[in-house]
Chain A
Amino acid sequence: MGEILAASLVNGLLTGGIYALVALGLTLIYGVLHIVNFAHGSLLMMAMFGTWLLAAQLGIDPYLALPLMTAVMFAVGWSLYRFVIGRISRGDDRAILLATLGVAVVLDNLALVLFTGNTRQIETPWTFAVLEVGPLLISVPKLISFGVALILAALLWSFMARTDMGRAIRAVAREPEGARLMGIRPDRIFALAYGIGTALLGAAACLLLPIFYVSPGVGSVFVLVAFTIVVLGGMGSFPGALVGGLLIGMTESVGGLVLGESLGPISISLVFIATLLLRPTGLFRGAR
């Protein structure tokens, strides 16, 4: 039993790395725009289809496609905010919320029209590679995705802390009016933050594809999980998203072990509701 539990914890921790990456983008967008990006799961789905197309049609390995997909998704996210969400919502909170929902509905169904509802997978040479560590068998692609996710989180961290652009984003997040007086244009920063948040999904998609499937509905698998992580960690908090991602990965894995496959997913939703009701500021109080 101890070994099964340990294996489940390790597995959950590794999956949690990708969750954290998805949640980092969500928390960045929340921190700056103060809305929940309901299109997050759909944008991840879009990135996964992009990665799948590169792999299945052109034979480009998902890991090699990572820089390209990150750049492409940045452009997608930036334009989406600049030309669609920002333009139609005119800064009204409820309108932004509903606009991201509208974008999600459009993207999900566009994928359904283009790719049908079938699930697709690719097989890389290392899809089933495992590493033996004592009594544990660790999936190599999961380990890679975990490592890369942590590196990307660290890069984002130093970008936000050290560069002028990062400082500008943090300034707008905290005090949009004050930032405007300092010569920062908040609408540009909104698009930039949305672009970076979406770029992280491009990376996440490349890390996910060797171990997961893609279908038009795949975003919904990750979206509630990502919301939970962001709320648990504290909306807008970077360390919160990271710690939350790892915790939720393990919760899900152990929840599935204890409650069984069909009831397992409830553990995430319950953590989510409990956090929202009891401690909506999350573990890290949205510290930026």
Chain B
Amino acid sequence: MKRAIVIAGITAVALAPFAFNSQYLVNIAMLTALSAVMGQAWNIAGGFGQMTSFGHAAFFGVGAYTAAILQTRWGLSPWLGLPASFVTGGLLGGFIGILSFRAGLRGSYFALVTLAFAEVLRVLANSLDFTRGGLGINIPLKQGLANFQFHNRQSTYALVLLMLVLTTGVAMFIKRGRFGARLVAAGENEDAASALGVDLVRTKTIGLATSGAFTALAGVVYTQTYLYIDPSIAFGVERSIEMLLVAMIGGAGTIAGPILGAIALHAVAETSHFFIDAPGFAPLLYGATLLVIIGFLPRGIAGLGARWSRA
């Protein structure tokens, strides 16, 4: 019974934006869902496998640039950007994973190396002609379904919602399966997992590649929605931190966590400017929320929900 109520509630919240008249509100719903996709993707690596990445913008940015370059340079359909970015994001995750996990990096060291990879990509995107350097890439405006550019935000929201369902489905599938058990084991205690026959490098690399592939999809949607991408939007630290916050605040390692985290973060952002309308105030509250969560709710908002459902 409780389960049915929860499912009905989630469906109602998810579908509500289709009834909104205000494009502003739909845009917020779309951005919330997009944050949830990124948080869920981060969660696969950072939650299940405890690979605390501080540089997931690397995947977002590679996805965004893959889609932008494919259509502006080679005139390919932007829809191809989705599978192409999925592949480039996954390959980058595999590359970073193999290098880092072979070297035995974890904890702080892994956080640092991901941060550095994102920074290398930012500097490269900023200085290569191929990516048009600091100018960034403009996608010519040509609205239409075939062109992956939508006149109303509802269509974008529908697509992002679909992506969220897919990412969440994959996260659930991983969590419940044997691979997920290995990934969680590797995250919780490397030595014990290794003694039980878990191939650490392989397991964690696959986890990071999966996470990277789904993060890259979010980059494509971003590019197609705002029709512009530049090195700091794509690879900036803020982006990496946002994904981490969404997952950690909602509850890392849980399925509902990143979705709850995204809703909480955007709710904070939208209400904060009624109090102090200054740039920086909303992210200031995010940081404070993270501190509160670490201190008082180590399992995030989802942990609170679990407590409630047991009561």
Residues of A bordering B, CB below 8 Å? 30, 34-36, 38, 84, 87-89, 93-95, 97-99, 101-106, 108-113, 116-117, 216, 220, 224, 227-228, 231, 260, 262-263, 265-266, 269-270, 272-273, 276-278, 280
Asked if B159 lies at the interface with its beta carbon under 8 angstroms from chain A, I say no
Residues of chain B in range 123-167 having any CB-CB distance to chain A below 8 Å: 123-124, 126-127, 133-134
Q: A109-B281, A266-B120, A276-B105 are in contact. List 18 more A-B contacts (CB 8 A).
A: A87-B295, A95-B294, A97-B108, A97-B111, A101-B241, A102-B290, A103-B287, A105-B245, A117-B279, A220-B237, A227-B115, A262-B134, A269-B119, A270-B120, A277-B105, A277-B113, A280-B105, A280-B109
When distances are taken between beta carbons in the complex, the residues of chain A under 8 Å from B287 are 102-106, 109
Q: Cα distance A110–B291 when bound, in Å?
A: 15
CB nearest to B118 among chain A residues: A269
Q: Are B281 and A113 in contact (CB under 8 A)?
A: yes
Please give the distance in Å from B126's CB to the nearest CB on chain A. 6
Q: Is the CB of A262 within 8 A of B127?
A: yes
- Establish whether residues B117 and A113, one from each chain, have CB atoms under 8 Å apart when the complex forms: no
B211 within 8 A of A: no
Q: Does B278 contact A (CB under 8 A)?
A: yes
Distance (Å) between the CB of B100 and the closest chain A CB? 7
Task: Provide a sorted-by-A list of 12 A–B residue pairs whose CB atoms are within 8 angstroms.
Answer: A88-B295, A102-B290, A102-B294, A103-B287, A112-B279, A116-B279, A117-B280, A262-B123, A273-B117, A276-B105, A276-B112, A278-B103
Cβ-defined partner of B291 (8 Å) among A84, A113, A260, A272: A84
- Beyond A262-B123, A262-B134, A273-B120, whether A99 also contacts B280 by CB under 8 A is no
The 10 closest A-B pairs by CB, nearest first: A112-B280, A105-B287, A88-B295, A109-B284, A106-B287, A102-B290, A262-B127, A109-B280, A36-B108, A263-B127
Closest to A265 in B: B123
Q: Is B288's CB within 8 Å of the partner chain A?
A: yes
Q: Which residues of B pack against A, CB within 8 Å? A: 50, 52, 54, 99-100, 103-105, 107-109, 111-113, 115-117, 119-120, 123-124, 126-127, 133-134, 237, 241, 244-245, 248, 276, 278-281, 283-284, 286-288, 290-291, 294-296, 298
Majority SS at the chain B contact face = helix
Identity of the chain B residue whose Cβ is nearest the Cβ of A267 in the assembled complex: B123
Complex Cα distance, B124 from A17, in Å, reads: 28
The answer to whether A231 and B123 touch across the interface, beta carbons within 8 angstroms, is: no
Whether A227 touches B112, Cβ cut-off 8 Å, given contacts A94-B52, A273-B117, is yes
- The interface residues of chain B lying within 8 Å CB-to-CB of A276 are 100, 103, 105, 109, 112-113, 116
Contact between B276 and A113, CB atoms less than 8 A apart: yes
Closest partner residue, chain A, to B287 (CB atom): A105
Chain B hits for A277, CB < 8 A: 99-100, 103, 105, 113
Complex contacts, B123 vs chain A, CB 8 Å: 262-263, 265-266, 269
Residue of B111, B237, B284 near A106 (CB, 8 A) is B284
Instruction: Answer whether A113 and B120 are a contact pair too, CB < 8 Å, given A88-B291, A277-B100.
Output: no
